[in-house]
Structure 1
Amino acid sequence: MLARESADISALIGLIGTQDFGGALDRMLRSVASFDLSVAFAYPYDNRPIVLHDGYTAKVSASALAAYLGGAYLLDPFYVACSGDQPAGLWRMRELAPDQFFHSDFSSSAEVHPCISMESGVLVEEIGFVIPLDDGVQATYSLMRGRGGSPFSDDELERLRIYEPIVREAVRSNWRQKNHAAPAPPRDDDAIETAFDSLCADRLTRQQRNIVRLILRGHSNLSIGKTMNIAEGTVRIHRKNIYRRLDISSQGALFRIFIDHLNRRQLY
């Protein structure tokens, strides 16, 4: 181990439980691979995310972060992976995202994605450590590169993976020392996932709302069919009927309805 690496790890350990922990985490990993933005969230069961580390305040709009915390995170592949018991480790977002996610409005929206607000408007790549905490809570620590840079190389990812056990245990220790208490599971009628269930409930059937959930999360018709065990042609018919019932003609309009729905529920 190089002296610099040893010093970075020692500094990180010394700052566990303090306000400077996140900065030390960033400094340690920037010695391995450069990145423009970072953020860490904890995802308690069926509750709003908790911001564990904010490494992008100067470049992120407050409204985008509020929108993300208020409900748009439901579309984030890292959240979906955590809610599905994704194994701990370092992952590229593209390894977790549905097949059409990077063509979705969420992935390129500066309005609701907290990390899509650099001057260029998009990210080249986001990678993230998935970290199990206590009481079934999962956390992610994401590193991002903005447009104009290059994606993380395989060599960089391998070097970062060497640090994964250190990152995992440091974040877990910081969580405990900060004395974060996982919120009690809410009553069923208060669960934030009902943002999907109640979306256009007066105009769409439950099956159609389930399809909307998958559309918004970036699944293609083929992927939706496989997920729901129905034919791709049946998905196309459902999609056409959904758009007709909502008087819209595009996925972008559907995305706007979802964001307006979150606003009305005062989830932001």
Structure 2
Amino acid sequence: MKVEDVKTLAALIGAVGSDHLGRALDAALKPTLDFDMSCIYLFRFNHNAVLIHDGYHGSVPQSTLAAYLRGGYLLDPFYVACTHDHPAGVWRMSELAPDSFFSSGFAISRDIHPCVSSHHGALIEEVGLIIPVAPRVAVVYSLMRGAPGGTFQPHEMDALKTLAPIVNSLLELHCRLRHSDCYAAPDSPDMQSEDAFVEILQGQLTETQRYIAKLILQGHSNGSIARVLGISEGTVKVHKHNIYQRLEISTNTELYRLFINYLTRAA
């Protein structure tokens, strides 16, 4: 092992349990992988997201970050993956996102999606290391690259996968030291929708309708919702019609706007 590698590893170990771990990880990865921004979030089902590291370099408005932390994270494919016990590893956002995600209100909204807000909708890719720490709880270390830099190439993904075991161990230990409460017993595995959706959707929907509204907001098409629930697309359309009636709206766009307005007004 090279002297510089030893120094880097020592700096990483020394940063565990402190507010400097994210910056130390960024510095360690930069020589291997070029990225524009980074962030580390702790995601736990039915609990607010925790921002462990802000590597947005001041390019994300505080109002956007506040709205994301208040509830925007509920639509983030990485949050959804973590709270469904997705396997650990290095994943592209595109590998986790539902079929209509990239045309969804969240994906294109500068009000609640930090990546869009920070680069005017031009961020071409986000990759994340998912580190499960407990049932329905995981840490995600995300790296983002803007359009001028192109996509993360296979050799870069391979390099990140090679370094992943070290990053995983450091962040898991960090959580044990700084976020021990995340190891508490998880909420009921039967819960389909987080309490936040009840409040955001004004408590006007049945449990099934709330779950379908959640899937719409997260970027699922009618066909995808039908597959998730094991029902026909026709039944999905009936549920959507009833949801729209109860919320006094008529389109998915209005549903997104209702969600975004709640978050930005509350933020």
TM-score (norm 2): 0.87
The code of the aligned residue for 1:235 comes to: V
Residue 243 (str. 1) matches residue 244 (str. 2): yes
Equivalenced residues, count: 263
Partner of 1:166: 166
Partner of 2:209: 208
Partner of 2:110: 110
Identify which range, 167-176 or 113-122, moves more after superposition. Answer: 113-122
- Segments of 5+ residues of structure 1 without an aligned counterpart are none
Residue 83 (str. 1) matches residue 111 (str. 2): no
Between the aligned partners of 1:136 and 1:47, the Cα distance in structure 2 is 11
The code of the aligned residue for 1:162 comes to: T
The code of the aligned residue for 1:165 comes to: P
Partner of 1:98: 98
- Give 1:177 shift: 3.4
Contact kept in structure 2, 1:120 and 1:147, CA below 8 Å: no
- Give 1:261 shift: 4.1
Contact kept in structure 1, 2:17 and 2:178, CA below 8 Å: yes
Aligned CA distance change for structure 1 residues 187 and 28 (closer, same or farther; 3 Å):
closer
Between the aligned partners of 2:183 and 2:4, the Cα distance in structure 1 is 39
Contact kept in structure 1, 2:63 and 2:264, CA below 8 Å: no
Contact kept in structure 1, 2:115 and 2:121, CA below 8 Å: no
Contact kept in structure 2, 1:124 and 1:150, CA below 8 Å: yes
- Give 1:209 shift: 2.2
Contact kept in structure 2, 1:42 and 1:139, CA below 8 Å: yes
Same amino acid, percent of matched pairs: 45
Partner of 2:12: 12
Partner of 2:69: 69
Partner of 1:252: 253
Partner of 1:196: 197
TM-score (norm 1): 0.87
Between the aligned partners of 1:239 and 1:150, the Cα distance in structure 2 is 38
Between the aligned partners of 1:220 and 1:63, the Cα distance in structure 2 is 29
- Residue pairs, 1:27-46, within 5 angstroms: 27-46=27-46
Partner of 2:225: 224
CA distances 1:21-67 after superposition (whole Å, capped 9, x unpaired): 21110011111111111010112342111111111141111111111
Between the aligned partners of 1:55 and 1:24, the Cα distance in structure 2 is 11
Aligned CA distance change for structure 1 residues 186 and 239 (closer, same or farther; 3 Å):
same
Q: Give the match's secondary structure for 2:58.
A: helix
The code of the aligned residue for 1:81 comes to: A
Q: Give the match's secondary structure for 2:225.
A: helix
Residue 234 (str. 1) matches residue 238 (str. 2): no
CA RMSD after TM alignment: 2.7
**Dislocated runs of 4+, deviation >6 Å:** 185-188
Q: Give the match's secondary structure for 2:148.
A: coil
Identify which range, 54-63 or 134-143, moves more after superposition. Answer: 134-143
Identify which range, 52-61 or 174-183, moves more after superposition. Answer: 174-183
Q: Give the match's secondary structure for 2:127.
A: strand
Q: Give the match's secondary structure for 2:182.
A: coil
Structure with greater helix share of residues: 2
